[in-house]
Amino acid sequence: MNTPAQPHYTRGAALPALLRQRIVIIDGAMGTMIQRYKLQEADFRNAALKDHPKDLKGNNDLLVLTRPDVIREIHAQYLAAGADIIETNTFGATSVAQADYDLAPLAREMNLAAARIAREAADQFSTPEQPRFVAGALGPTPRTASISPDVNDPGARNISFDELRAAYAEQAQALLDGGVDLFLVETIFDTLNAKAAIFALDEVMERSGERLPVIISGTVTDASGRILSGQTVAAFWNSVRHAKPIAIGLNCALGAALMRPYIEELGRIAPDTCISCYPNAGLPNPMSETGFDETPEITGGLMGDFAKAGFLNIVGGCCGTTPAHIAAIAQKVRPYRPRHPQDPLFGKLLAD
- What are 16-74's pLDDT values in tens digits? 999 999 999 999 999 999 999 999 999 999 999 999 999 999 999 999 999 999 999 99
d(CA 16, CA 22): 11
Task: Please classify residue 198 by burial: count the beta carbons closer than 10 Å to its beta carbon, then call 0-12 exposed, 13-18 middle and 19+ buried.
Answer: buried
- In this structure, are residues 66 and 55 in contact, taking their beta carbons and an 8 Å threshold? no
pLDDT attached to residue 350 = 59
pLDDT attached to residue 143 = 96
Helix (H, G, I), strand (E, B), or coil: what is residue 156?
A: coil
- In this structure, are residues 223 and 237 in contact, taking their beta carbons and an 8 Å threshold? no
Q: What backbone phi and psi angles, to 5 degrees, belong to 316?
A: -170, -150
Nearest-CA neighbor of 62 among 29, 90, 99, 86? 90
pLDDT attached to residue 343 = 56
d(CA 227, CA 246): 21
162 C-beta neighbours (distance < 10 Å), count: 11
Helix (H, G, I), strand (E, B), or coil: what is residue 311?
A: coil
pLDDT attached to residue 3 = 46
What are the average pLDDT values for consecutive 10-residue runs of the chain, which has 352 residues? 62 96 98 97 97 98 98 98 98 98 98 98 97 98 91 89 98 98 97 98 97 98 90 97 97 96 96 97 90 96 97 98 98 95 53 48
Q: Could you tell me how many residues make up the chain? A: 352
pLDDT attached to residue 112 = 98
DSSP label of 318:
-
Where residue 291 falls (left for φ over 0; alpha for ψ -120 to 50; beta otherwise) is: left
